[in-house]
Amino acid sequence: MVKFLRKSVFWFSLFWISLSWMAVSGATFEIEYYTVPETGKTVEVAKGHINLMLWEPRPVEEVKTLLMPYGIKVRGDVANMGGYFLQLPDFMPLDEGIRLLKSLPEVRYAGPDYVIYPLATTPNDPRFPQQGLLNTIKAPDAWDITTGIPDAWVAVLDTGVRLDHEDLRDKIVFCRQGDIVDFVDNDTDPSDESGHGTGVAGIAAATTNNALGVAGVAWLPKILPLRVLSGGGGLTSWAVSAINYVTQNCPNVRVINMSFGGYGPDSMQEQALNNAYNRGIVPVGGAGNDGTETPFFPAAFDRVVAVCATHLNDQKWDYSNYGTWVDICAPSNEGMVTTSIGGGYGGFGGTSGATPVVSGVVALIASLHPNWTAEQIVLKLLQSADNIDAQNPAYAGKLGSGRVNANQALRGSGPDIAPPIISITNPPDNSSVRGGQIPFTAVATDDSGSVPKVEFFVDGQKIGEDTTGDQNNHVFTTVWDTSTASETTHILLVRAFDPVNNTSTDQHSVKVDRSPPQVLFTYPPANSIVSKTINVQISVIDNSPLKFVNLFIDGLLRQSFFSPPYVYVWDTTSVPEGTHTLMASAQDILDNPPTSATLTIQVDNTPPSLNIDSPQAGALLSGVVPIQVSATDSIGLNTVEILVDGQVVSAFGGTPPFTYNWDTMPVVGKNHRIGARAVDLAGNVASQEISVQVKNDFISPQVRFALPPAGIRACGTIHFLVDATDNREVLSVDIMEGNTLLTRLTSSPYAFDYAWLTSQEGAHSLTATASDASENTSQASLSVEVLYPQHSPPSSYPASGPLNLSFIAPETAVTDGFLIYREKGSQGFFTALNPSARLGNTFLFQIPSSALPPAGLEYIFSINSLYFTCETQRYEVASLYPFGDLNLDGKVDELDALEIGFYFGTPASSPRFKPHMDLNRDNIIDINDLNILAGLITL
């Protein structure tokens, strides 16, 4: 069934019922029965066969790999269109296989392999040798225009064709020699075994005007025989392969005749036919011979011309299928004399015979218009048909566009595929109407110059049509009675028809509104008191746009609004204080009766009278102090508040007295602010503020230096601890040296460290000042003498034995001291050394000669005390001898190596031992010292 404004893909699942076997010319397959949900029909399919389509074509080997885990095999393909013919494993039911495949994201379609059959033939009385159908379809008149061209081929997909028939042999062609054209036995011989395909070929295009046999509808177009059926039927997979072969390899084919089918919609077959249609090939299919309205496939697919069969008197043939999915009819039964399997001629009927009649006419149209698309050819075919609903009242609307007319199909210009142009002119889109009899008008034109009918709809219900209209101005009209229509939005639609029933529509949204606006003031509230500048806010509810909203104050128009928001900024200081009346009115664009709302308010812009009566400004306060405020207003007070230091401490209503007893005892600090604020009923505000002093504490803090002891002699970082107390609270402790603030301590313990440099040796005096919240203070002093350790560094190592170092600490309370040292000028780690002895504050250290670095020593003393930590400056000791100059001649050379050689092997216990020759300080003069010296010798 051809539909040009609709696309659909059939998705379905099938229910397994039973099995049987079918043998088709050597091809044997098992049959299952399924019920097709879309039609309710039980159909035959090949057991275990599935036709599969992927969203994107893939190589067959890749598809085999994809399906291998499920045991599913690929038995064939049309890979260029992403189609594959599958075989399920024996253990897997067909419905489960389909369900499994559909669950894979790569799969676009999975369905059974339907069994297809040639349409049943109804032999005619051999006494009627004339081909009456040719006169019925006006073929002789059409042949006056064209008898076709050889290059407009008719592909006959059927049981094959008898290739040596005298009326067909000169018409048989092949796309390429050696191609497979028998898709049943998968070979190159499409010979007919049953006669069905031979009869179809003869009706469509038997050789004509050759003094033999019968005349075909199309004289000159060639016949391409493709075998997809045998006497017992066939499979959709065979048909899909043949259709795909034509599309890919046969550029001269313009029509595919399919006098076969069934009630199972195979999406792969549909896609193959769509591909052919898009390439300019017209698929033509028989509607079926069961006398049913159920869609029959492939005829019922969108891009296939579905052919119903009629008698010569244009009445539907009794057994022909019918329905809204049928596109056109052609004569059958009487007059269907055609080529036969035996090489002679015989009768042929049913939709199998009607289908090639239409295919022959399609070949003539394609011959006359070789550049037309498939859509143009089909439109011309359908638009030129003779309507036969009058002869078939019981089947009106179910026989397509009528019976084919070859003569009309070849006459005139191309098909009228342009729909009319229509637009609603009244009521406007998104407009509102008040009610009553509303003109409903539209303007419609068509390229044919005529618009025979315009239909009018409201909310999907037809309310009228205009078949005359004003053809000069192209105006069509009806009346819409809105007096009882619901007050809501309605959808208005118009549909225009051209002479060949192309249609177009236009629609508007229109609201019915018979109610006046609802007006109210949302601010200020009724009977309220206002002041200064306010926003007068108006709300209007209506089903239609408003024409205006007007605001009046005391009878004078203040502002007109034509769109929301309806807000008027009113400076009330411009009017006298007292009572005022506001009124708002509104009217919608439909002139529904205007409505209004009124509001009475009072204006007051005078602030209250306010005074802080006590205490007086600047007063010194203590204990509990009464704060007294007086306030009055002409229209009444709303609130009075008392504030201390900016915080509200008491709030009152509008009635005096306004007194607050302020307890100053917990107050911190001396300077404070007392404030008062009064607000009247209109929101006018008065405020006042004074400054006062508060003091409830006259006792100074106690402060002393707890650590270190007075007169301490210390160095480095000294640890201080101050003891400060107060009867209420210590606010801070400031530590000063002279006039310099060292630190401010705000919480206990009041401890801090302070470091003095070596350059700051001498006497220092520190002062601690403690302050409380009432600004009472007290002080304490401490004297400290900064004195770094006494030490005299030696100029060089001793000639033999250890290096003795000592220092005198500045304070007897020193807990410990130690020495850290390393090789002079190095970046290595320091070595720590505890004192070898301590005599009072004198610390003695002994570095063994074996630990003395050959190049000299750098060291630091570190001291710990209960009261301080101190590190001295860095000291240095030189080596006794120049490193490596063993003979002291001012240079390092081979003579120094001879010195080591002279004393080689001498240990430190020997009187001959020379410490300066023991370069690595291992207490023996050996090869290690000679290696060190070798690195120092300058040659």
Distance separating alpha carbons of residues 640 and 301, to the nearest angstrom? 87
pLDDT band for position 28 (cuts 50, 70, 90): low
d(CA 696, CA 669): 10
Tell me the catalytic residues. Answer: 158, 196, 352
Stretch 537-549: mean pLDDT, rounded?
Answer: 91
Model confidence at 799, pLDDT cuts 50, 70, 90, reads: confident
Distance from C-alpha of 439 to C-alpha of 479, rounded to nearest angstrom: 5
Average pLDDT over residues 314-338: 91
Beta strands (DSSP E) in 259-348 are 260-261, 282-286, 305-310, 328-331, 337-339, 345-347
Contact 162, 168 (CB under 8 A): yes
Q: Please tell me the distance from the alpha carbon of residue 446 to that of residue 498, in angstroms, as a whole number.
A: 7
pLDDT at res. 335: 66
Structure confidence by residue, pLDDT tens digits, 89-103 = 988 899 889 989 999
Q: How far apart are CA 783 and CA 763, in angstroms?
A: 7
702-726 burial by CB neighbour count: b if 16+ within 10 A, else e? ebbbeebeeebbbbbebbbebbbeb
- Return the beta strands (E) in 259-304 as ranges: 260-261, 282-286
Token pair for 563:
């769109």
838 by DSSP, 3-state: which?
A: strand
Q: What is the pLDDT of residue 9?
A: 22
Residue with tokens 């495949």: 101
Mean pLDDT, residues 575-590 taken together = 93
| Measured distance between the N- and C-terminal CA atoms of the chain, rounded to whole angstroms | 111
pLDDT band, residue 639 (cuts 50/70/90): very high
38 confidence band (pLDDT: 50, 70, 90): low
Q: Return d(Cα 769, Cα 777) in angstroms, integer.
A: 7
| Percent residues over pLDDT 90 in the chain | 64
277 closest CA partner among 405, 378, 354, 183? 378
- 360: three-class secondary structure by DSSP: helix
The predicted structure's pLDDT at residue 7: 22
Q: Can you point out the beta strands (E) in 233-317?
A: 234-235, 253-258, 260-261, 282-286, 305-310
**Closest to 102 in 3D by CA, of 168, 166, 13:** 13
* Backbone dihedral angles phi then psi of residue 614, each to the nearest 5 degrees: -155, 150
3-state secondary structure string across 452-516: CEEEEEECCEEEEEECCCECCCCEEEEEEECCCCCCCEEEEEEEEECCCCCEEEEEEEEEECCCC
Q: Is the pLDDT of residue 145 over 60?
A: yes
Q: Is the pLDDT of residue 572 over 60?
A: yes
Taking residues 369-376, what's their average pLDDT?
A: 90
- What percentage of the chain reaches a pLDDT higher than 70? 93
Residue 728 amino acid letter: R
pLDDT at 469: 77
Q: Judge whether residue 378 has pLDDT over 90.
A: yes
CB 290 within 8 A of CB 321: yes
Q: Residue 413: its pLDDT value, please?
A: 64
Tell me: pLDDT of 332 over 80.
Answer: yes
Helix pair 894-902, 927-934: axis angle to 10 deg? 170
Shortest CA distance to 789 belongs to which of 735, 707, 861?
A: 861
Report, as an integer, the average pLDDT of 820-826. Answer: 87
Q: Left (φ > 0), alpha (ψ -120 to 50) or beta: where does 140 sit?
A: alpha
* Strand, coil or helix: 350: helix
Q: What is the mean pLDDT of residues 124-153?
A: 78
CB atoms within 10 A of CB 471: 12
Which pLDDT value is given to residue 471? 60
DSSP 889-936: SSS-SHHHHHHHHHTTT-BTTSTT--GGG-TT-SSB-SHHHHHHHHTT
624 forms beta bridges with 663
Positive/negative CA dihedral, 223, 225, 229, 235:
negative
User: Does pLDDT of 881 surpass 70?
Assistant: yes
What are the tokens at 166? 């005298």
d(CA 313, CA 507): 43
Question: Which are the contacts of 34, defined by CB distance < 8 A and separation ≥ 6?
Answer: 14, 15, 16, 17, 42, 43, 45, 94, 95, 112, 264
Determine the average pLDDT of the residues in 495-521: 91
Given a cut of 50, is residue 890 above it in pLDDT?
Answer: yes
Q: Identify whether the C-beta of residue 462 lies closer than 8 Å to the C-beta of residue 456.
A: yes
Supply the pLDDT for residue 395: 97
Written as one string, the DSSP assignment of 412-463 is: SSS---PPPEEEEEESPTTEEE-SSEEEEEEEEE-TTS---EEEEEETTEEE
Q: Which residue has the higher pLDDT, 11 or 635?
A: 635
pLDDT tens digits, 710-740:
889 999 999 999 999 998 889 999 999 999 9
Residue tagged 């209004």 (tokens): 596
In this prediction, residues 269-296 reach a mean pLDDT of: 96
User: What is the tens place of the pLDDT at every residue in 209-247?
Assistant: 887 888 999 999 999 999 999 977 899 999 999 999 999
CA–CA dist 787, 865 (Å, integer):
14
**CA dihedral (154, 159, 162, 167) positive or negative:** negative
**pLDDT (tens digit per residue) in 893-928:** 888 888 888 888 899 888 888 877 888 878 898 988
Per-residue pLDDT of 596-631, as tens digits, reads 999 999 999 999 999 999 999 999 898 899 999 999
Q: How confident is the model over 478-489, as pLDDT tens digits?
A: 999 998 899 899
Over residues 69-73, mean pLDDT: 91
At position 79, the amino acid (one-letter code) is A
Does the pLDDT of residue 364 top 60, yes or no?
yes
3-state secondary structure of 232: coil
Orientation angle between helical segments 374-383 and 350-368, nearest 10 degrees: 120
Q: Is the dihedral of CA 105, 106, 112, 114 positive or negative?
A: positive
